[in-house]
Chain A
Amino acid sequence: MSEPAAPQPPPEQDHLEVKAVLLLSFMLVLVVASALYVMYARGLFESTQTLVLMSEDSEGVVVGMNLTFSGFPIGRVRRIELAEDGKARIVVDVASKDAHWLRQSSVFTLVRGLVGGTNIRAYTGILTDKPLEDGAVRTVLQGDAGAEVPKLIAAAKDLLESVSTLVSKQGALGASFGNLQTLTARINGPGGALTVLLGGEAEAKKLITALDRTNALLARVDGLAAKADAQVFGEKGVLPETRATVVQLNALLGDARTSLKKVDAVLVEAQAIGANVKDGTSDLKLLRGEVEASLRKVDGLINEINRKWPFARDAEIKLP
């Protein structure tokens, strides 16, 4: 200041003081409003209920992160601590106005993405279920895309190793290809496919020889058949002879039939004789009846004589 002596304040300085006070007030308002906004944003003015999520590990979970329901944040992580059983205890503050989305049957998941942070999500299937009570403890289901990657890589490595083993010369596929190559070489070689089928050139030759011999045999069988044909069906063969025999047999059969007719007539006569015998037999029956009657009369006569005879025995039986 060029005028350091105690200044006599000019009239406009009063005005300046007011401006300064206004400026000061403006700053204070700004600071207080900012502080209140930060507190509001931190959730200091909203009533909450506590939810405790038990997790196998709390990796990726940070204090202040959201609990979302259908993508909307309804709570935030207040504290992460280690429980007595070694699990992570994630204490979540759920805003009271949003707490009705959480029910007894709600499921909580902790999902780690490949990119970005971890997410805690709530799913409620039955919205009519009983509301989740304050201080409820739930186990969180974990899904970790990041943890799957090493497993995937390990599996892929195994697969690649298997494929490379399979494809290598010592491997099954390599050996198969080698065998196939040998096979095709042998098919192209002398003996062809027969060598492959029978296992060796000598065997193939044997088969060919067998075939040749079979052919010869068949030729001979053919000749034999022709001869048999001549013998069977020839002019002096078996069959014409048989036919003549059959004719003769027919004549014989005619003679036999005639003889049988004669026998038939004889039998008729014998039948007539039989009938006569039958009549004779009926006469005998009459005769026998007459004889029996005569005998009965004789018997009666004897009985009569016996009764009349003095030496007749006492025929009575006396009871004691």
Chain B
Amino acid sequence: MMLMAPWRDLLARTNHSAQKWLVQWWRLAHLGAVLLLLSLSPSSYKRADRLVLARHVYDNTAPIMTSFTLLCALISLVLTRIVTTTALSYGLSQYALQVVIRVLVLELIPLTAALFVALRCTIPDGAELAELKARGDLDTLRRQGINPIHREVLPRVMAGIFSTITLAVLSCVVALLVAYVTIYGFNLAGFAGYTRLFGQVFTPAVTLIFIMKTLLFSLAVSLIPMASALYGSAVNNTRTSAEMRGLVRMFAVILLIEVLSLVGNYY
């Protein structure tokens, strides 16, 4: 019986961890469902809420849009140049453009946009929310009859989603333009061929996967930091902080989405 004790402890600990893990994921899913419902409810768009939403949307997108677009244009330029030069040296220039579109537009840019928004907007937003919660402001709101999720969480999550999608789409457009200009120069001679190639890459399945991936990225980077901030106090006794755990979870989810999209696209 004495020998069985360590095993029992280990099992109990494992059980406890699994339970916590499941509870966290359940809370995340629950929060997502609640926010989805709230976002679809017209009562979330009253004037006061609208103003808060507008502020978050603007603050999360406008300041980083220009810098991110420029960064993407630069990366696109460099990558397009590298790919076309390499392809030319191997005599495979007819495949260069397809590689550029696949690598940049389908894979790199949505991921980069999601990570950029996470680092610049949603993780700071999550920290801010955690601070509000620590100060007791959320409880104050609740006492005033205002749902804190409604007032503080929903605008941040929606702003994160909006920002990710906007940056991803804008950067894709910029990357396509830069790739075109790098290969064909400033003329419209190659537009028909370029469009045809683009159409060949963007088959219905690939387009659907691309849309789903971008949406899931935006959800992951917006929702997980908020969930960590809201439910972080429950795991204060662990070594790592709630924000850190939230970050790790967010990157794991992003990685999983990326892997799934790659599997969908290439298998």
What is the interface of chain A, defined by CB distance below 8 A to chain B?
1-2, 4-7, 9, 13, 16-17, 19-21, 23-24, 26-27, 30-31, 33-34, 37-38, 40-43, 63-66, 73, 76, 115-116
Nearest-CB residue, chain A, relative to B131: A2
A6-B146, A37-B198, A38-B202 are known contacts; what are 19 more A-B pairs with Cβ within 8 Å?
A1-B128, A4-B138, A4-B146, A5-B144, A7-B51, A9-B47, A16-B58, A19-B58, A20-B54, A20-B57, A20-B58, A27-B165, A31-B165, A38-B207, A41-B198, A42-B204, A64-B200, A65-B200, A76-B200
Which of B51, B52, B146 has the most chain A CB atoms closer than 10 A to its own CB? B51
Chain A to chain B: the 8 pairs with minimum beta-carbon distance, closest first = A41-B199, A20-B54, A17-B54, A27-B166, A41-B198, A4-B137, A42-B199, A30-B169
6 contacts between A and B (CB under 8 A): A2-B132, A6-B144, A20-B57, A41-B196, A63-B203, A73-B196
Mark out the residues of chain B between 201 and 245 whose CB falls within 8 Å of any chain A CB in the assembled complex: 202-204, 207
Give, as a whole number of angstroms, the nearest-CB distance from A266 to chain B: 127
How far apart are B206's CB and chain A's nearest CB, in angstroms? 10
Q: Is B180 an interface residue (CB 8 A)?
A: no
The reply to whether B165 and A115 contact each other, CB–CB distance below 8 Å, is: no
Also in contact, A17 and B196, with CB within 8 A (given A4-B140, A23-B58, A116-B94): no
**Do the beta carbons of A23 and B61 come within 8 Å of each other?**
yes
Interfacial chain B residues near A37, Cβ < 8 Å: 195, 198
Nearest Cβ on chain B to A317's Cβ, whole angstroms: 144
Q: Do A23 and B57 touch across chains, with their CB atoms under 8 A apart?
A: yes
Among A1, A7, A38, A65, residue most surrounded by chain B Cβ atoms (within 10 Å): A1
Q: Are A6 and B48 in contact (CB under 8 A)?
A: yes
B137 near A19 with CB under 8 A, answer no
A residues less than 8 Å from B140 (CB atoms)? 4
Q: Is B172 an interface residue (CB 8 A)?
A: yes
Q: Is the CB of A2 within 8 A of B137?
A: yes
CB distance from B174 to the nearest CB of A (A): 10
Spell out B's residues near A (CB within 8 Å). Answer: 47-48, 50-55, 57-58, 61-62, 92, 94-95, 128, 132, 137-138, 140-141, 144, 146, 148, 151-152, 162, 165-166, 169-170, 172-173, 193, 195-196, 198-200, 202-204, 207
* A23-B61, A40-B195 given; A30·B200 CB < 8 A: no
Give A255 Cβ to nearest chain B Cβ, in Å. 120
Taking CB atoms, residues of chain A closer than 8 Å to B207 are 38
A185 to B48, CA, bound (A): 117
Please measure, in the bound complex, the distance between the C-alpha atom of A103 and the C-alpha atom of B203, giving whole angstroms. 30
What A residues does B173 contact at CB under 8 A?
30, 33-34
Cα A2 to Cα B52 in complex, Å, equals 13
Report whether A16 and B162 are in contact in the complex, using a CB–CB cutoff of 8 Å. Answer: no
Q: Are the C-beta atoms of A116 and B51 separated by less than 8 Å? A: no
Question: With the chains together, A33 CA to B61 CA distance in Å?
Answer: 20
Chain A residue at minimum C-beta to C-beta distance from B193 = A73
List chain B residues, Cβ under 8 A from A6: 48, 144, 146
Looking at the assembled complex, report how far the CB atom of B120 sits from the nearest CB atom of chain A, in whole angstroms: 16
- Let me know if A16 and B195 touch, CB within 8 A: no
| B200: nearest chain-A partner, CB-CB | A64
A106 to B146, CA, bound (A): 74
Cα of A40 to Cα of B191 in the assembled complex, Å: 12
Instruction: Give the residue of A17, A23, A115 whose beta carbon is less than 8 angstroms from that of B62.
Output: A23
Q: How far is the CB of A60 from chain B (nearest CB, A)?
A: 15
Q: Is the CB of A31 within 8 A of B92?
A: no
> What's the Cα separation between A215 and B94 when bound, in Å?
89
Measured between beta carbons, the chain B residues less than 8 angstroms from A1 are: 128, 132, 137, 152
A42 touches B50 (CB 8 A): no
A44 CB, nearest partner CB in chain B, Å: 9
Indicate if the CB atoms of A41 and B162 lie closer than 8 Å: no
| In the complex with contacts A1-B152, A41-B199, A63-B203, A17-B162 CB distance below 8 A | no
Partner of A26, one of B53, B55, B166: B166
Find the residue from A2, A13, A19, A27 having the highest chain B CB count within 10 A. A27
Contact across chains for B202 and A41 when beta carbons are under 8 A apart: yes
Asked if A7 contacts B199 (CB within 8 A), the reply is no
Question: Contacts A31-B165, A38-B207: A19 and B54 contacting too (C-beta < 8 A)?
Answer: yes
Give, as a whole number of angstroms, the nearest-CB distance from A56 to chain B: 25
Please, which residues of chain A bring their CB within 8 A of the CB of B203? 42, 63-64
* B163, chain A: closest CB distance, angstroms: 9
Shortest Cβ gap from B18 to chain A (Å): 36
Q: Which residue from B48, B62, B169 sits with its C-beta under 8 Å from A34?
A: B169
Nearest neighbor of A9 in chain B, beta-carbon distance: B51
Inter-chain CA distance A260–B209, complex, in Å, is 146
Complex formed: what's the CA distance from A73 to B190 in Å? 13
Task: Give the Cβ gap from A77 to chain B, nearest Cβ, in Å.
Answer: 10
User: Are B199 and A27 within 8 A (Cβ)?
Assistant: no
Known contacts A1-B132, A1-B152, A16-B55; decide if A38 and B169 are in contact (CB<8 Å): no
CB distance from B71 to the nearest CB of A (A): 18
